[in-house]
């Protein structure tokens, strides 16, 4: 789960990270009110969407010459103008994709006089099984280019979970950023605060870009924080930070039924139980020359409710030209699953070819139920057969 910059900054400030003052705003009036509470004379109005690259982004409605989603303002009138430009409009950045994201909230924060911008991030390094600190002197808006063109400018320091963070980690971060004296101490302090926040919230990522020197102080000017979804049950307070308007509607609906669903680019909708089987199903669709429209794991006990919800979610995607159901009846018997599939197919008024492969307990009863349902369900014997059949069905439609 990701959160907005303003939420991330409030959170990190609680762990002792130095963050400039600021307030969230949902309307132009609130944005001006927020600026009034700040000391000035420089304000920054920032679009709050779950994507980076806002500074260099463009608003669809404003044309190519308009400024992006992070704007400096020197007066309350300029704050108002910036807020009017952004709210309700669609910001397109390198991270949003061409559709962009509608801006519904702003963050109005203290503008600082930047001397230097750094990059500092914490993430889980799966290779070493440790939290890794990634630091670079090349902070600002183009870290992707730095990583690509000059990877030697990016330093990685991993932390042994048995010792936790030690003073030498802070010193190494400061050295990687080319800092000495008091600024080095501040950088070490920030690193410690971010590490504490990372552990304390079960984060999956904390990215500060830029971490800046401004007015002789190290400050967090941008923050992107994501949490490990599997640990969120331990943090009801963090769950309240979820902004469902930022999530894909189909993925959101799926999460309500405890379905693991991820939208993909292909034509064949997949409904499978078990993540491994789902991966294999996607692979074999590709092997037969087409692409899956989604990953969907209905879980071990594929109940009728779940199967129906899964059908509806798959069919809500206009790209889906056919559906492949591949279910192993282990915990759940094949006859029960078949009843669920028939009921769901009737309820959603199935409009695309449907190939079903069942295997496991009571498989013959399951196949009989599908065959006598009166629906145009194409049965398949094994996974290879199922993939061939759904690809042939979809290709036959043209």
- Residues flagged as binding site for Mg(2+): 209, 222
Active site residue 261: no
Q: How many residues does the chain have?
A: 398
x/- mask, ligand ADP, residues 19-38, rule CB under 6 A, reads: -x------------------
The option from ligand ADP, Mg ion, none interacting with 20 (CB < 5 to 8 A, set by class) reads ligand ADP
The answer to whether the peptide bond before residue 210 is cis (omega within 30 degrees of 0) is yes
Asked if residues 27 and 110 have their Cβ atoms less than 8 Å apart, the reply is no
Q: Which residues from 193-252 bind ligand ADP, rule CB under 6 A? A: 209-210, 221-222
Least Å from the CB of residue 99 to ligand ADP: 17
Cβ proximity to ligand ADP: between 60 and 168 the closer is 60
100 lies in the site for ligand ADP, by CB under 6 A: no
The verdict on 360 binding ligand ADP (CB under 6 A) reads: no
Choose the stretch contacting ligand ADP; rule: CB under 6 A; options: 111-119, 145-153, 226-234, 307-315.
111-119
Rounded to the nearest whole angstrom, what is the least distance from the CB of residue 5 to ligand ADP in the complex?
7
**CA torsion through residues 337, 343, 348, 351, sign:** positive
Pick 25 or 341: Cβ nearer ligand ADP: 25
Task: Provide the sign of the torsion angle of the four alpha carbons 249, 252, 257, 259, taken in this order.
Answer: positive
Sign for the pseudo-dihedral over CA of 273, 274, 277, 279: positive
Question: Cα separation of 320 and 81, whole Å?
Answer: 43
* Sites for ligand ADP among residues 41-80 (CB under 6 A): 44, 46, 52-55, 70
* Other beta carbons within 10 Å of 16: 14
Number of residues that bind ligand ADP (CB under 6 A): 20
Return phi, psi of residue 291, to 5°: -120, 145
Name the minimum Å distance from CB 139 to Mg ion.
8
Element (H, E) at 82: helix 76-86
Residue 114 near ligand ADP by CB under 6 A: yes
Within residues 141-160, the interface with ligand ADP by CB under 6 A covers 141
CB of 222 or CB of 335, closer to Mg ion: 222
Distance of CA 164 to the CA centre of its chain: 28
Q: How far is the CB of 17 from ligand ADP (least distance, A)?
A: 14
Rounded Cα distance, 19 and 9, in Å: 7
List 5, 138, 207, 393, catalytic entry: 207
Give the other-Cβ count within 10 Å of 140's Cβ: 18
Nearest-CB residue for Mg ion: 222
Minimum distance, C-beta of residue 156 to ligand ADP, in the bound complex (Å): 21
112 touching ligand ADP, by CB under 6 A: yes
The CA-atom distances, in angstroms, between 378 and each of 10, 44, 57, 102, 353 are 54, 59, 48, 42, 8
44 binds, options ligand ADP, Mg ion, none, Cβ within 5 to 8 A by partner type: ligand ADP
The binder of 338, among ligand ADP, Mg ion, none, by C-beta within 5 to 8 A per type, is none
Q: Which of 6, 119, 195, 257 is catalytic?
A: 119
**Please, what is the minimum distance in Å from the beta carbon of residue 209 to Mg ion?**
4
Asked if 207 is an active-site residue, the reply is yes
In this structure, the number of other CB atoms found within 10 A of the CB of residue 205 comes to 15
Helix ranges (H only) for 150-290 are: 167-176, 181-201, 236-239, 249-256, 275-287
CA neighbours closer than 13 Å in the CB half-sphere of residue 263? 17
Q: Which residues bind ligand ADP (CB under 6 A)?
A: 20, 44, 46, 52-55, 70, 109-112, 114, 117, 140-141, 209-210, 221-222
Could you list the active site residues? 119, 207
């Amino acid at each position: 789960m990701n959160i907005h910059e303003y939420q991330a900054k409030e959170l990190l400030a609680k762990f002792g990270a130095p963050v400039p003052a600021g307030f969230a705003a949902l309307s132009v009036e609130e944005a001006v009110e927020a600026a009034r509470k700040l000391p000035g004379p420089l304000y920054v109005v920032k679009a709050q969407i779950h994507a980076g690259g806002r500074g260099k982004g463009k608003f669809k409605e404003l044309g190519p010459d308009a400024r992006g989603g992070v704007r400096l303002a020197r007066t309350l009138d300029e704050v108002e103008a910036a807020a009017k430009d952004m709210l309700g409009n669609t910001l397109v950045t390198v991270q949003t994709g061409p559709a962009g994201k509608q801006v519904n909230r702003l963050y109005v924060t203290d503008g600082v006089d930047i001397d230097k911008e750094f990059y500092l991030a914490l993430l889980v390094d799966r290779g070493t099984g440790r939290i890794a600190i990634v630091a670079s002197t090349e902070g600002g808006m183009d870290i992707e280019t730095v990583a690509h063109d000059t990877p030697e400018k990016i330093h990685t320091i991993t932390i042994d979970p048995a010792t936790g963070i030690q003073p030498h980690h802070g010193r190494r971060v400061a050295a990687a950023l080319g800092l000495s004296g008091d600024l080095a101490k501040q950088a070490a302090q920030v690193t410690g605060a971010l590490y504490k926040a990372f552990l304390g919230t079960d984060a999956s990522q904390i990215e500060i870009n830029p971490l800046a020197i401004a007015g002789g102080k190290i400050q967090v000017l941008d923050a992107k924080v994501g949490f490990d979804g599997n640990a969120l049950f331990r943090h009801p307070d963090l769950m309240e930070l979820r902004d469902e308007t930022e999530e894909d509607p189909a993925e959101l609906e799926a999460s309500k039924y405890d379905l693991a669903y991820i939208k993909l680019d292909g034509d064949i909708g997949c409904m499978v139980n078990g993540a491994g089987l789902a991966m294999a199903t996607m692979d074999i669709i590709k092997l037969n020359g087409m692409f899956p429209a989604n990953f969907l794991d209905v879980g071990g006990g594929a109940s009728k409710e779940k199967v129906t919800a899964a059908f509806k979610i798959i069919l809500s995607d206009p790209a889906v030209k056919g559906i492949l159901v591949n279910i192993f009846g282990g915990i759940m018997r094949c006859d029960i699953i078949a009843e669920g599939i028939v009921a769901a197919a009737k309820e959603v008024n199935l409009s695309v070819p449907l190939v079903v492969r069942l295997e496991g307990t009571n498989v013959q009863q399951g196949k009989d139920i599908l065959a006598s349902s009166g629906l145009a369900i194409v049965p398949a014997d094994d996974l290879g057969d199922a993939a061939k059949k759904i690809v042939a069905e979809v290709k036959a439609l043209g």
